[in-house]
Amino acid sequence: MAIHPTAIVDPDSNISREAEIGPYCIIGSGVTIGPRTRLLAHVYLEGKLTIGKDNVFYPYCSCGVTPQDKKYKGEPSETRIGDANTIREFVTINRGTEGGGMVTSIGDGNLLMAYVHVAHDVIIHNRTIIGNGVTFAGHIVVEDYANISGLTAVHHYTRIGRHAMVGSRSVIKQDVLPYSMTATTHEIEVYGANRVGLERAGYSTGAIDALQSAFRLLTRSGLNTSQALARISEELPETSEVGILTNFIRESSRGFVK
């Protein structure tokens, strides 16, 4: 275990012998750090916080700290960070609250760019890209492979579907459909399937075309949601991606961006 002599490490923390703790880092009680995770410098970690293996934390990020929620009364909530994540400069990650399941969670293989804020009870799944300055309010779910561009603000209790691409400076107040490309101009709207991202991920042309047709019915046909879902069921092939899309809509409690 390599711990720089200027680092402050609480004896009640649990740090792998293969981890690296850089200059001026502060690690509090109840923090667990897995093998080959590196804290480059000036990183602040507070428990209860569990971090897996092969992560990199850049200078001036803070993780596991008290949530910015007046309802929080000191309950023993926690933060969980998986494997192979990159946490860039000045990222802030708050732990969970009793009102949200007690856990803020980040999965595996995510990139959180500089100045990202992850509020209490946010669940980020796997292999997402979160751009500079993105702000998540509490109780948000971000699904696998979502790509959220810089300076976007996301309202609490919303969901970002898998493989969604959200344009920069967007204000997200409702759920973002999986596989979609969504952005704000003066009003937020869906621009269709995230074709380039899906092609890069290996989705077939047929699957992407079916999604594009589904988005056209949902957002450009003049139909209400129930009518559009009925047309999708009648007219489009029953691909797994279209099934995920329609199930996402049926489970949405806030409505979704059109």
Domain ranges of the chain: 2-142, 198-251
Share above pLDDT 90 across residues of the chain, in percent, rounded to a whole number = 88
Average pLDDT, the chain: 94
Burial class of 159 by CB neighbour count within 10 A (0 to 12, 13 to 18, 19+): buried
- Which pLDDT band holds residue 72 (cuts at 50, 70, 90)? very high
Share above pLDDT 70 across residues of the chain, in percent, rounded to a whole number = 98
What is the average pLDDT across 136-162?
97
What is the average pLDDT across 169-177?
94
User: Do the domains spanning 2-142 and 198-251 agree at the CATH topology level?
Assistant: no
Q: Spell 162-187 as b/e; 16+ CB within 10 A means b.
A: bbbbbbeebebebbbbbbbbbbbeee
The CATH code belonging to domain 198-251 is: 1.20.1180.10
**Dihedral of CA 222/226/228/231: which sign?**
negative
Residues identified as active-site = 120-121, 138
Distance CA 113, CA 94 (A): 16
| 3-class secondary structure, 146 | coil
Residue 141 has pLDDT above 70, yes or no: yes
186-217 pLDDT, tens digit per residue, is 566 677 889 989 999 999 999 999 999 999 99
Length of the chain: 258
Predicted pLDDT at 221: 86
- Cα separation values, 180 from 8, 98, 101, 192, 203, Å: 45, 32, 28, 6, 14
| Location of structure tokens 């309950």 | 75
Predicted pLDDT at 1: 66
Predicted pLDDT at 248: 94
What is the average pLDDT across 169-180?
95
Distance CA 2, CA 5 (A): 9
Predicted pLDDT at 186: 55
Burial class of 99 by CB neighbour count within 10 A (0 to 12, 13 to 18, 19+): middle
CATH topology of domain 2-142: UDP N-Acetylglucosamine Acyltransferase; domain 1 (2.160.10)
Tokens of 130: 């979160």
Tokens of 206: 């047929």
- Which pLDDT band holds residue 258 (cuts at 50, 70, 90)? confident
What is the average pLDDT across 68-86?
95
List the end-to-end C-alpha distance of the chain, in Å, as a whole number.
51
